[in-house]
Amino acid sequence: MHTIYNYFNTLRAFPVWVLLFLLVLGTGAVQAQNSGRITGLVTDESSGEPLIGASVMIEGTSLGAATSVEGEYTIRRVSPGDYTLLVAYIGYQQQEIPVTVTAGETVEVDVSLSSVAVEGEEINITAQASGQAGAINEQLASNTITNVVSAEKIQDIPDINAAESVGRLSGVSVVRSGGEGQKVAIRGLSPQYNVVMVNGVRMQSTDPNNRSVDLNMIAPNVLSGISVTKALTADMDADAVGGTVNLKVGKAKEGFHANFSMQSGYASMAYTPEETYGNYRLSGLVTNRFLDSKLGVQVSGFLDDQNRNADVLGSGYYTNEDNIEDGFVPLYLSNVTINDRVTNRQRAGGSLVLDYELENGSLILNNFVSSLNQHQVTQNNTFTTGYDWRGWTTTGEFTNTVINNALQGEFEFGDIQMDFSLSNSISLQRTPNDLRSDIRPESGGVQGLRSDSANLNQMNPTNFLNAVTVIPEGKIVTGVSSFSRDVNVAAQAAALNLQRPFNLTDNVTGYVKVGGKYERNTRDNDEEVLYIDTDRGGLAGNFIDLLKVEWPELGLEESDSHIPDALFRDPDYKVESFLSGNEGITGERFYDLTSIDKMKRMEQIARDNGYYLSAPLGSNVYDYDYTRNFHAFYAMAEINIGKYVTLQPGIRYEQFGFDYTADSTVVFGRLTTPGENYYNSETIESDVTEGENWFPQMQVRIKPTDWLDVRLARTESIIYPDYRAISPYVYFDTYASPSLNLGNPSLKPSTSDNYDAYLSIYENHIGLFTAGVFYKSIENFIVPIEYLTKDASKINNRVSLPQNGDPTTINTWTNLERTSNVKGVELEWQTHFWYLPEVLQGLVFSINYTHIQSETYYPNYYTERRGNPPFFQYVTVDTVRSGRLLNQPDDILNLTVGYDLGGFSARISYQYTDNILRGINSTYDELDSYTAPYKRWDFTARQKLPWLEGLEAYLNVNNITNTPDRQFSSTRRKLSNVQYYGRTAALGVRYSF
């Protein structure tokens, strides 16, 4: 009821916001009757294709417009008279067209632009140059700070997924998984601080823990463009602190068109010929218009299967804080894990777009679906410097699916423009049954390793692995366990926007825009962990006796009280060329490779006979139901002062209310016999959490000349807490040393003040050169925290903490009291060397560089002993340490050189991402975990074929140098992880008409 009251209270304030709009509406009625308008279409003279983002201005005034995705433009409220239209598009020759405007009439002026040329020569705009020009002009036409990947660039030589396409833009770094881009960080801010949309409709989170969206499930073939907006306007959701990624799906063009492609690929890490050459992708798009071109239908789809095998080496370290070396806390090797990972990824998806043209507007129905399914088997062996060994094997799959549906409309009622959106957005995450088995030395038996070398803990991982040998005797299977997850996320939203132009004079023009949005989000997270231990307790003995009866072919002896590891081995599983032979370690280092079939058989017997037990930590802690109601209203304006200055003030109001249902679990023992009760769990509901925020936004655009553009922005944005962080769940293990994991429903959203300054120089010879700086100041930044305490007030007295014995270890989240900040510089140059001698006129060049710095503060709670024995006490010290933000690289560089000649097109690209912070040590910054700098070369080429118009062949080669992903601990570069994914290649054909 309280939420409903707030909603209507907000609605009562809405008329105040629209007062300016109504005033403009009333005062402009007479002006509208005494003015006319100019409309038209801007196209490429040679191809007839529409030019997106072309500038159409009336000379000597501030009146003008940029062309839409269909190449159309409309200039409203033009006073009667004779004018000259200036039509400009980078890469093309500007046109000046006389036009006469009559009151109450609409003048149609269609314009065809020809490409720039050296005098006496005809220059054909090639595919790559056209794609670059499209991106440049869309970027310049935007009313805010935006980077663009144009439709031509995407379709010319598409990347493996949308994350890789976005990752080529300035300020964007790619978060990789399985050797390919998965998510993107914008300006050093983690993926959950960005918004991802499809045609302006927000995609729901695909991550089980936070608000981030995977882009690796989307093939670029079905997209008609991508934009990344870095400075918010008032009509945009305010929780895009890093930026807003909009994936565009176009609508049907005039006439019947189609585009089909198929490719087969090569993966160097695959084990069999079928896997090595079995990668494939099929994609297609069909479009047409019907009913006198009023109805448009566009259907697209894709299907692919990719091998993403990997070899992984991981290392763990421990510290000796009593032995500081040269001011550093020394790290000693504790363990090394080798991992053979067999991964297969399948993507499928597509879109159906229906649009209908009405007399005063249009309706469009967007439907988009994309899914990623992954099957994976891993074989893992861990070797410790304490002469121990462990082995485990996993197998499983997961599926991520996103579905977006939206009915959108655009209408004109006189000079008033109205658009609306009714949308439904769904994210489904399914992990049906990830299965794991474990092997270790038999308790009380021999150790797992032997070695003739000393000081194993001072070796590097490679030397250590080559210095130890696994002792084959005394290894047993300790059990199997399974993990399942089911996450359902949905959002229904309605949005309405009204826009009205105004003309105070011919040199002071603009528009006023108001609108609102309502959204309801739901999220259901259900996880379960089941297990059977076969190495301890009466339950294990009973189960082994059952196996002897139910599974005699396993080979257990009557006297066996454990399961020997030899009975679970897979003799046909081989690990070859481990780590591509580059780290001095061979596949022979793997001692135990477990049979997947035998794991599944043992799991099934445990399930069927009641021995498969629920683990409270995995089955109760992370289950929750979440509901949020969200309302937003805004008012903004664009004020053009002459042709030199554009002001864009605005204000946005957002109100939210959410509630949770979660579990509170208390563990007071350990399971030793079947049916024993050793924990209690109950469902708890949180109170409705509500909040509201105002977001003033201001942007200024200054164009002192036709080739210089300066943009300034001061905006505000918000970070809502991640789902798990704000859940009211409680998991309290009181057995032995008490530990408490819990969410924090009292978390406040983080807010950010953002400042941007950008300068762009653009001209047909130069192309586009952009230099910009940005700064973000973030309050109440949310971070995880761990500390020891007996004081329940530190957790808002949600749980009574024991006062006797050891203090309780708390793991939760908190808002930082200090301000965090992010700042950086972005440089970019895009150009086409059309003016060089003929053989070089096909050269296209693009480079961007970003330097980022950030500082935040991480809580540091540690216990120190004060006093001398026997009169000493342990005191908890509460302090902080500074560091950069997680997922932030210092430097990002993207370089692309393309060349077109006749029907041939090729592109070589280079990506450099400096080390990225992955983990924080709360006490010592030299113990932080970070990646090595990532350097990667890719090559793509295509050739038009002579046998059929529109037929071409293409080649993609990715990760040419087989660059691995490396991660280090400590500034002394102690190797903690290296992953080899190998190089991949694809050869395909495409037919379009």
Q: Identify the band that residue 560 occupies on the pLDDT scale cut at 50, 70 and 90.
A: confident
The SS3 assignment for 124 reads coil
Q: Which residue has the higher pLDDT, 570 or 759?
A: 759
Residue 129, H or E segment? helix 127-141
Torsion, Cα of 898, 901, 903, 909 (10° steps): -10
The SS3 assignment for 795 reads helix
- For residues 162 and 183, give the distance between their C-alpha atoms in angstroms, rounded to a whole number: 9
Nearest Cα to 268, choosing from 963, 964, 980, 982? 982
pLDDT at 661: 92
Whether a cis peptide bond, with omega within 30° of 0, leads into 870 is yes
pLDDT at 688: 83
The residue type of 516 is G
- For residues 679 and 668, give the distance between their C-alpha atoms in angstroms, rounded to a whole number: 6
Asked if residue 553 has pLDDT above 90, the reply is: yes
Residue 212, CA distances (Å) to 249, 491, 930 in order:
21, 15, 20
Q: Which residue has the higher pLDDT, 121 or 841?
A: 841
pLDDT tens figures, 74-117:
998 898 999 999 999 988 999 999 999 998 899 999 999 988 76
pLDDT at 122: 53
Residue 639 in tokens: 């004020």
pLDDT at 8: 40
Torsion, Cα of 213, 219, 223, 226 (10° steps): 50
pLDDT at 823: 97
pLDDT at 344: 93
Residue 224 in tokens: 């008609």
pLDDT at 7: 40
- For residues 930 and 514, give the distance between their C-alpha atoms in angstroms, rounded to a whole number: 45
Chain centre distance of CA 764 = 34
Residue 608 in tokens: 């069927």
- Placement of tokens 């959701």 in the chain: 237
Chain-wide mean pLDDT for the chain? 88
- For residues 695 and 98, give the distance between their C-alpha atoms in angstroms, rounded to a whole number: 43
Residue 183 in tokens: 């998510």
Lowest mean pLDDT among 150-159, 246-255, 420-429, 641-650: 150-159
| Mean pLDDT score, 866-888 | 78
Asked if residue 158 has pLDDT above 80, the reply is: no
Residue 457 · residue 510 · CB < 8 Å: no
Q: Which residue has the higher pLDDT, 878 or 285?
A: 285
| Mean pLDDT score, 785-792 | 87
Residue 742 · residue 784 · CB < 8 Å: no
In the chain, the percentage of residues whose pLDDT exceeds 90 is 57
CB-facing half-sphere around the CA of 259: CA atoms within 13 A? 17
In DSSP terms, which residues pair with 49 in a beta bridge? none
pLDDT at 459: 92
Chain centre distance of CA 301 = 22
Residue 760 · residue 709 · CB < 8 Å: yes
Residue 886 · residue 917 · CB < 8 Å: yes
- For residues 728 and 737, give the distance between their C-alpha atoms in angstroms, rounded to a whole number: 23
In the chain, the percentage of residues whose pLDDT exceeds 70 is 92
pLDDT tens figures, 660-677:
999 998 988 776 666 667
One CATH from 2.40.170.20, 3.90.1170.40, 1.10.1270.20, 1.10.1240.10 for 146-309+331-442+469-487+496-534+611-992? 2.40.170.20
The ranges assigned to domains in the chain are: 35-141, 146-309+331-442+469-487+496-534+611-992
- For residues 814 and 789, give the distance between their C-alpha atoms in angstroms, rounded to a whole number: 15
- As a whole number of angstroms, the longest Cα–Cα distance in the chain is 105
Asked if residue 140 has pLDDT above 70, the reply is: yes
pLDDT at 60: 87
pLDDT at 558: 83
- For residues 185 and 540, give the distance between their C-alpha atoms in angstroms, rounded to a whole number: 47
- For residues 756 and 789, give the distance between their C-alpha atoms in angstroms, rounded to a whole number: 43
pLDDT at 989: 94
In DSSP terms, which residues pair with 424 in a beta bridge? 405, 492
List strand residue ranges (DSSP E) for 359-448, in order: 361-384, 389-413, 416-441
Asked if residue 132 has pLDDT above 90, the reply is: no
In DSSP terms, which residues pair with 769 in a beta bridge? 761, 829
In DSSP terms, which residues pair with 398 in a beta bridge? 374
Residue 85, CA distances (Å) to 26, 32, 88, 101, 516 in order:
29, 21, 10, 11, 35
In DSSP terms, which residues pair with 377 in a beta bridge? 342, 395
Lowest mean pLDDT among 22-26, 174-178, 242-246, 419-423: 22-26
- For residues 785 and 310, give the distance between their C-alpha atoms in angstroms, rounded to a whole number: 33
- For residues 781 and 884, give the distance between their C-alpha atoms in angstroms, rounded to a whole number: 13
Residue 542, CA distances (Å) to 551, 561, 563, 672, 728 in order:
14, 10, 13, 12, 38
Report angle CA 249, 252, 255 to the nearest 5 degrees.
Answer: 150
Q: Which residue has the higher pLDDT, 597 or 35?
A: 597
Nearest Cα to 379, choosing from 342, 344, 339, 406? 339
Nearest Cα to 197, choosing from 406, 37, 436, 50? 406
**CB proximity list for 440: less than 8 A, separation 6 or greater:** 389, 390, 391, 448, 475, 476, 478, 535
Residue 572 in tokens: 């046909």
Asked if residue 736 has pLDDT above 80, the reply is: no
pLDDT at 120: 47
Residue 510 · residue 502 · CB < 8 Å: yes
pLDDT at 177: 84
pLDDT tens figures, 365-418:
999 999 999 999 999 999 999 899 999 999 999 999 999 999 999 999 988 999
Asked if residue 864 has pLDDT above 60, the reply is: yes
Residue 200 · residue 206 · CB < 8 Å: no
The residue type of 263 is Q
In sign, the C-alpha dihedral spanning 178, 183, 186, 191 is negative
Residue 188 · residue 885 · CB < 8 Å: yes
- The DSSP result for 577-613, as a single string, is SGGGG-SS--GGG----B-HHHHHHHHHHHHHTT--E
| Mean pLDDT score, 495-503 | 94
Q: Which residue has the higher pLDDT, 447 or 516?
A: 516
Residue 587 · residue 576 · CB < 8 Å: yes
The residue type of 540 is A
- For residues 828 and 848, give the distance between their C-alpha atoms in angstroms, rounded to a whole number: 4
**If you ran DSSP here, which 8-state letter would residue 963 be given?**
P
Enter the CATH code of domain 35-141: 2.60.40.1120
- For residues 972 and 929, give the distance between their C-alpha atoms in angstroms, rounded to a whole number: 11
Residue 522, CA distances (Å) to 423, 426, 492, 496, 624 in order:
14, 10, 9, 22, 11
| Mean pLDDT score, 763-771 | 94
Residue 723, H or E segment? helix 723-726
pLDDT tens figures, 679-703:
888 888 887 889 999 999 999 999 9
**CB proximity list for 919: less than 8 A, separation 6 or greater:** 886, 928, 929, 930
Query: β-strand 106-108 against 36-44: which pairing, if any?
Result: parallel
Q: Identify the band that residue 150 occupies on the pLDDT scale cut at 50, 70 and 90.
A: confident
Cβ neighbours, 10 Å, residue 729 = 22
Report angle CA 551, 554, 558 to the nearest 5 degrees.
Answer: 80
Asked if residue 334 has pLDDT above 90, the reply is: yes
Report angle CA 343, 345, 348 to the nearest 5 degrees.
Answer: 170
Count of all residues that appear for the chain in the document: 993
Torsion, Cα of 459, 465, 469, 475 (10° steps): 110
pLDDT at 118: 56
Nearest Cα to 989, choosing from 349, 372, 284? 284
In DSSP terms, which residues pair with 898 in a beta bridge? 844, 907
Lowest mean pLDDT among 153-167, 204-218, 459-473: 153-167
Residue 718 in tokens: 């918000």
- The DSSP result for 242-275, as a single string, is S-EEEEE---PPSS-EEEEEEEEEEETT-SSHHH
Asked if residue 12 has pLDDT above 50, the reply is: no
**CB proximity list for 864: less than 8 A, separation 6 or greater:** 874, 875, 877
pLDDT at 935: 93
Residue 733 in tokens: 């293990």
